Amino acid sequence: MNTSDAVPSAEAQLRAAPPHALVATAGRLLAERFGAGDVTLLLADYGLTVLQPVTRLPDTGEPVSAHDGPAGTAFTTQKPVLEVTADPATELLHLPVTVRGDRLGVLRVQVPGTSADPATVLRLGEFATALGHEVATAGRDTDLYLRARRTRRLTLAAEMQWQLLPGRGCAREEFVIGAHLEPAYAIGGDNYDWSTSADHLTLTVTDGMGEGIDASLLTSLTVGALRNARRAGVGLAEQASLADQALFSQYGGKRYASTLLLRFDLATGAVSAVDAGSPQLYRQRGTAVERVELDAQMPLGMFEETPYEEQTFQVEPGDRLVALSTGVHDTRSATGEMFGEGVLRQILGATRQTSPHETARSVVAGLIEHVGTRDILADASVVCLDWTGREAGAPGQQRPGR
């Protein structure tokens, strides 16, 4: 047996580490294998405004911008950024930590000044991805990483909603999704959800009626009912019908949830849709932005045994879809001006070359600017999807590497 067979891989040692000790284990491994000095994991906060160091709680290190500086640039561009330090013997390498398209944060590694060659940067990037997978898994067993993401305490309703979400992004060969929610620390009734299989993507955007705990409980029941129906293998219209029945049985029509349901055929780009309420959908093809007109059907739970019907439309490679909750498209400024299509088109035009994650964030930032305060009154959710499609004859598979 040779030495390489006897020494566990870095991935194996990360998997074996206690959940709370992942950063310390990563530091030890990077020191042994790359001569690294200081190693810091910075996680994006819920509002995507800062990157916060993971340290021994309740103490936390000084946060840095999630959009500016070396770490922020690595996070937004999803590319390694090398920072030259005052010490010529060392450099700081900032590596994006991303799991299947969900951007978690940045790994900051102090490396010898002569070691940041492309091959080493690639290996360190793979290590950062492996660490990200373990951090995502460790969240089931420790609160350390969830608490490290917070600049302040979440409301109980927001706690419930964030635990309900699948993540803030997803990437495959055929598509990339980026999503954003505000007010991040007090969200109540807005939710998005997705699930992929070999041949399909199902995506929903839900806006639960009301505020606070009442809205969160309503949305939790809605999402649970939709997932239960989806996992039973029924069609999109029946998923809506079963969720509608669950909500009406619980609330008797007094409370309801507006939901947009989409199901993408990954091989053809055909999209089935059920518009059960108020979320709106826009398609950006080239420089043109148009609203995808769907037949407005009743929100889920408003009436007993509401029948739902599917519609279809087509997406093409290069298309961008943007779904908006009511808190975005139906919000007014202090002077009563609606955040309408004109403002949205300007933002989508200006962000056409940015990632779906940054576009979703920019739409919400534009809404906050329009309202004039971060304390927006209604929940606002934006989901942005870039469609690449599948090459003819190519089997469905996960995009490698992340």
Instruction: Report how far residue 154's alpha carbon sits from residue 149's, in angstroms, rounded to the nearest whole number.
Output: 11
8-26 pLDDT, tens digit per residue, is 899 999 999 999 999 999 9
| Residue 396 confidence (pLDDT) | 56
233-255 pLDDT, tens digit per residue, is 999 999 999 999 999 999 999 99
Tokens coding 15: 């998997």
- Between strands 102-112 and 90-99, the pairing is antiparallel
DSSP of 179-204, one letter per residue? EEEESTTT--SEEEEEEE-SSEEEEE
Regarding predicted confidence, which is higher, 185 or 61? Answer: 185
User: Could you tell me the pLDDT band of residue 336, with boundaries at 50, 70 and 90?
Assistant: low
Per DSSP, what are the bridge partners of residue 96?
Answer: 106
Q: Smallest Cα–Cα separation from 134: which of 221, 34, 23, 223?
A: 23
- Can you give the pTM of this predicted structure? 0.90
User: Could you tell me the pLDDT band of residue 2, with boundaries at 50, 70 and 90?
Assistant: very low
| Residue 399 confidence (pLDDT) | 45
Residue 310 parent element (H or E): none
